[in-house]
A and B are shown apart, each in its own frame.
Chain A
Amino acid sequence: MIGSQDSVPLRLRGLGMRYGNGAWVLRGVDTTVPAGTTLAVLGPSGCGKSTLLRLVAGLETPGEGEVLLGDRPLSTPGSVVPPEHRGMGMVFQDYALWPHLRVRDIIGYGLRHGVHRTTAGERASRVAELVEFLRLGGLEERRPVELSGGQRQRVAIARALATRPRLLLFDEPLSNLDSRLRAEMREELALLLRRLGTTAVYVTHDVSEALALADRVLVLHGGRTVQDAPPEEVFASPVGGWVANLAGFSSRLVPEGVTVEGERATVTVAGVSFEGRHCGEDAGGATGPEVYLHPDAVRIDDGAGAVPAVVASSVFEGRHHRVRVRVGSAGTVLLHSSVPHRPGDRVGLRVEADGAVVFGGATDARPLGSAHAAQDDDRGTEEQHRDAVHR
């Protein structure tokens, strides 16, 4: 048995933490991770997701709320069970492999120096088991500096598993790998988590990791939960423009009008209407109607009924050309095209119904050029959204 003997749920109740200056870095996080499932915590840097993980690990003290593993409270503002007594395993962002130790000693560290020591024989057999499980055979006598990125990561996972933790924590473990290795390790980790059946919390800023690995996704923004739902729901019905952006809907337009019928919305942009999914009001606080487009769901089509646009830039990226077009004063749209386009070219856009999510704006249209009009610059949608939230 590689994983824990018994799976337990993790519960966070109203969890929050403040900086020394009194500002809240995390506030009111409530969620339950059922036994044997994986929760992905998704958000950009500075949203509080690493703080959340450190609170669960016992490396920080909460300013409010509590952390419970099974029925046992582990952290409250007044008392924190030390990390060495929490029975958790953690895979760190930079792996934190001790440079002076060899792979064998790193994996067996907790069994030798930790609070639950074992005999040398038990330790050796547990290390051997993990070495085999994580395909580290032949590397036992190496030091971290002699390992590749993927091998380091597997050693870090082996160490985290060594003491049979009841909860596994992952702090952006793939962020240091190149894109090819990242995709490989993502699949490997997904498989691993299924096989282990250990309750796990996985922190990431990469939506594809969250969607691939988690049974449930907690989206954090500005230290608060903005969505806590299964991955499919986060993708299909993001609760705000910011989540939509994280889920890959990276272009934001401010429509002239929106008509809502149930879950469908008809959006008018530059005098042309197209359909999208209506996801209610923006939980991030944006007040006017907005439409977010996925780059794979927008194509250039000069036929009748297409949204008129002007090419702003076109960059060859190997598999496709990454094209940015300007749609009047509604905003800019990013799309992928099989052919190059010249800046200044006039083109038409067609949007697939699944490729647009719409927030706000019941039926009324707002005049163009209002205070909420899209900013005509090249900043990312996320940044624009942040501005909108803080305005």
Chain B
Amino acid sequence: MTSLLERTRGGGRRRGAPENALGWAVLALLAVLVGLPLLFVVVQGVAPGLGLERDWSVRPDLLGEIVRRPLWQASLANSLTLASGAMLFGGVLGTALAFLRHTVAFPGARLLDGVAWALLVSPSFVLAQGWVLFASPSGVAVNTLGVDPSPLVFSPAGLVVITGLVKYPFAYLAVSAALHWDDRSYRQAAALSGARPWTVLRTVRVPLLTPAVAAGAILVFVDVLGDFGLPAALSAAYPYPTLPYSIYASVRQSPVSFELGGVLSFYLVVVISAAVLLYLRAVRGSRYDFLTGSAAPASPPPARIPVLWSGLTALLAALTFGVPLGTSLQVSFSRTLHGGLTPENMTLEHYAEIFAGGSRMLEGLANSLSIALAAAAATTLLAFLTGVVLTFTRFRGRFLIDVAGTVSLAVPGIVLAVGYIFLWNQPVLADLGLGLYGHPALLVLAGTAGALPIAVRLQLGALAQVPPGLLNAAALSGARPATRLRTVLVPLVAPALVSSFAAVLASGIFDLAATTMLAPPSFATLPVEILAEYDRGGYGYATAGAVVSAALVLLLTAASSAIGRRLLGGPPSGRRT
């Protein structure tokens, strides 16, 4: 391990000063952004009202209340049922589709990848709204197709299926990644040892893939458990309290109950942490550095009945992506929900309303865009500095930074937001002039904290590819630490910086959990406006808002990726000397 920033300015002689200063600064920022809010969540679980109410007390017994209070119990049970069911269904579906994609070639096979990525980047509350608008008793299915799927969909089993259809891409992409590099020599060695195809599958392929399958399924579980968008969109049509929704209700709906929010957040964090630990174990088991030199991108043989698989793929795309987004699109162009797909019912009025001067939706979009831009810039910078400390320094607190990164990966946005409420409402902060609660700046901080784990992971991969010698060479050429970062490291990892900026920006605009919990009442944000309009029954206006925003996000992402490609096009090929 090489030390990048180990020297002081002006030829000073104290060892390790800049790298330690940077390390401590990063650690302090992570503590404020992630550590303290989480600490406050846990503390509120056993000492509800601490710092927030006059008569708070330490009550560890509250954690046991979950077995006595029906709402608490139902939230936990519903969350576990939904997450486990979706894990099983989505895990099996994703794994099967990944096997299909990498076992036979057929026209349109790439659509499977496209649908998976599209589902992954679509905000879950928009997808869920689409499903609700499609399946509700007065929805698009009844009015356009003449069938009423509501009894099927609005049941625990129906929700499991819908959730699985929305979240299966986690499993699909994890297993696909493992199948992408096909090391034939392992299978050939087994065959030459006398194993029949079935035995090869059972004794070589499946054991090698098990960690990836497990990791994909656990990712589905973790994401469903922490997801706030789905239950938020469902709440209007079908009351199914889950932990994230009950946490939201406890602090944002009257009567406010910090003890409920604290205890439920505590349980949510415990369950998700356990799942993330399992995930990390599975991922460690699925590292692909065992690949031999003969590994090559898999090129599957043509399918025997290609039309069957092409048809199945088209059906899947129509079901998982077409139904919810097609419904939203149709509703956004419809006068009324019950009018169906008729020329008389078609209108542009919702779009006109959005673009009319002073519309709340446009204001919300502008605000959300500003918040997301600020959060994307802050996250990209902080993730870069975090990556630098982890990759190129010997700062002693690196393991703490690593822990903070892993922990924040496990914490759902809703819990983080609750932590922000608990932390930034402390009177002592207001006395210090730091009472940020109710200020839009808090949305930027929460957005940064929530997006940090992904941004760090995106950048760590690129940073790890930069040989430390390139920085040492700059040092020996006389470049100071900051100059080395600016002239050597930043240009080399620029494409990763752009990707990380684009990813944070795209997800930040639709960040429902943070904005719904932390935005001041007078401050319109896009997701809150969409959800509020939807709850009021203004489905056309709400879906038109979602469509406009999605188009904007697509545009921004495409622009970023074009910039990224341009940056990548710099050196003719390869990153290494």
> Which A residue's beta carbon lies closest to that of B12?
A82
In whole angstroms, what is the CA distance A272 to B88 when docked?
80
State which of B183-191, B221-229, B398-406, B568-576 sits at the interface with chain A. Answer: B568-576
Tell me if B13 counts as interface (CB < 8 A to partner A). Answer: yes
Among A93, A115, A163, max chain B CB count under 10 A is at A115
Tell me if A356 counts as interface (CB < 8 A to partner B). Answer: no
Are B472 and A99 in contact, with the CB atoms below 8 A? no
- Could you pull out 25 A-B pairs where Cβ atoms are within 8 angstroms? A57-B472, A80-B6, A80-B7, A82-B7, A82-B8, A82-B475, A83-B476, A84-B477, A85-B7, A96-B467, A96-B469, A96-B472, A97-B577, A98-B474, A98-B488, A98-B577, A100-B492, A100-B571, A109-B479, A110-B479, A113-B479, A115-B11, A115-B479, A145-B573, A162-B477
Known A61-B15, A92-B469, A145-B573; contact A100-B491, beta-carbon cutoff 8 A:
yes
Q: Classify chain A's interface size.
A: 35 or more
Are A144 and B577 in contact, with the CB atoms below 8 A? yes
Nearest chain B CB to A283's CB is how many angstroms away?
A: 33
In whole angstroms, what is the CA distance A56 to B577 when docked?
24
Within 8 A of B (CB), among A74-88: 78-86, 88
> Which B residue's beta carbon lies closest to that of A171?
B469
Tell me if B2 counts as interface (CB < 8 A to partner A). Answer: yes
Given contacts A90-B472, A98-B492, 16 further A-B contacts (CB under 8 A): A59-B472, A80-B7, A82-B480, A84-B476, A84-B477, A85-B7, A85-B11, A85-B478, A98-B488, A99-B577, A100-B492, A109-B479, A110-B478, A116-B478, A145-B573, A145-B574
Within 8 A of A (CB), among B464-498: 467, 469-470, 472-480, 483, 487-488, 491-492
> Which A residue's beta carbon lies closest to that of B4?
A59
In whole angstroms, what is the CA distance A266 to B478 when docked?
57
Among A99, A100, A109, A110, max chain B CB count under 10 A is at A99
In whole angstroms, what is the CA distance A98 to B467 when docked?
10
**Of the candidates B7, B13, B491, B570, which one forms a contact with A83 in the assembled complex, judged by CB atoms under 8 Å apart?**
B7
Among A82, A109, A115, max chain B CB count under 10 A is at A82
Known A84-B7, A96-B470, A99-B571; contact A110-B577, beta-carbon cutoff 8 A:
no
Q: Which residues of the partner chain B approach A116 to less than 8 Å between Cβ atoms?
A: 478
In whole angstroms, what is the CA distance A95 to B11 when docked?
26
Are B474 and A113 in contact, with the CB atoms below 8 A? yes
Tell me if B14 counts as interface (CB < 8 A to partner A). Answer: yes
Are B476 and A89 in contact, with the CB atoms below 8 A? yes
Tell me if B370 counts as interface (CB < 8 A to partner A). Answer: no
Q: Which residues of the partner chain A approach B573 to less than 8 Å between Cβ atoms?
A: 145
In whole angstroms, what is the CA distance A84 to B474 when docked?
8
Tell me if B3 counts as interface (CB < 8 A to partner A). Answer: yes
Q: Classify chain B's interface size.
A: 35 or more
Tell me if A64 counts as interface (CB < 8 A to partner B). Answer: no
Within 8 A of B (CB), among A150-178: 152, 159-160, 162-163, 169
Chain A proximity mask over B328-343: 1 for CB below 8 Å, otherwise 0: 0000000000000000
Are A84 and B480 in contact, with the CB atoms below 8 A? yes
Nearest chain A CB to B16's CB is how many angstroms away?
A: 8
**Of the candidates A89, A99, A159, which one forms a contact with B575 in the assembled complex, judged by CB atoms under 8 Å apart?**
A99
Nearest chain A CB to B466's CB is how many angstroms away?
A: 9
Q: Which residues of the partner chain A approach B483 to less than 8 Å between Cβ atoms?
A: 113
> Which B residue's beta carbon lies closest to that of A159?
B477
**Of the candidates B3, B7, B470, B574, which one forms a contact with A98 in the assembled complex, judged by CB atoms under 8 Å apart?**
B470
Tell me if A350 counts as interface (CB < 8 A to partner B). Answer: no
Among A94, A100, A162, max chain B CB count under 10 A is at A100
Among B11, B478, B491, max chain A CB count under 10 A is at B478
> Which A residue's beta carbon lies closest to that of B470?
A96
Are B577 and A96 in contact, with the CB atoms below 8 A? yes
Nearest chain B CB to A14's CB is how many angstroms away?
A: 19
Q: Which residues of the partner chain A approach B15 to less than 8 Å between Cβ atoms?
A: 61, 78-80
Are B577 and A113 in contact, with the CB atoms below 8 A? no
Q: Which residues of the partner chain A approach B7 to less than 8 Å between Cβ atoms?
A: 58, 80, 82-85
Are B472 and A94 in contact, with the CB atoms below 8 A? no
Tell me if A296 counts as interface (CB < 8 A to partner B). Answer: no
**Of the candidates A60, A61, A84, A169, which one forms a contact with B475 in the assembled complex, judged by CB atoms under 8 Å apart?**
A84
In whole angstroms, what is the CA distance A60 to B15 when docked?
10
Nearest chain A CB to B155's CB is how many angstroms away?
A: 57
Q: Which residues of the partner chain A approach B475 to less than 8 Å between Cβ atoms?
A: 58-59, 82-84
Nearest chain A CB to B196's CB is how many angstroms away?
A: 40
Q: Which residues of the partner chain B approach A302 to less than 8 Å between Cβ atoms?
A: none
Are A146 and B577 in contact, with the CB atoms below 8 A? no
Q: Which residues of the partner chain B approach A60 to less than 8 Å between Cβ atoms?
A: 3
In whole angstroms, what is the CA distance A225 to B443 when docked?
61
> Which B residue's beta carbon lies closest to that of A92?
B469
> Which A residue's beta carbon lies closest to that of B1?
A20
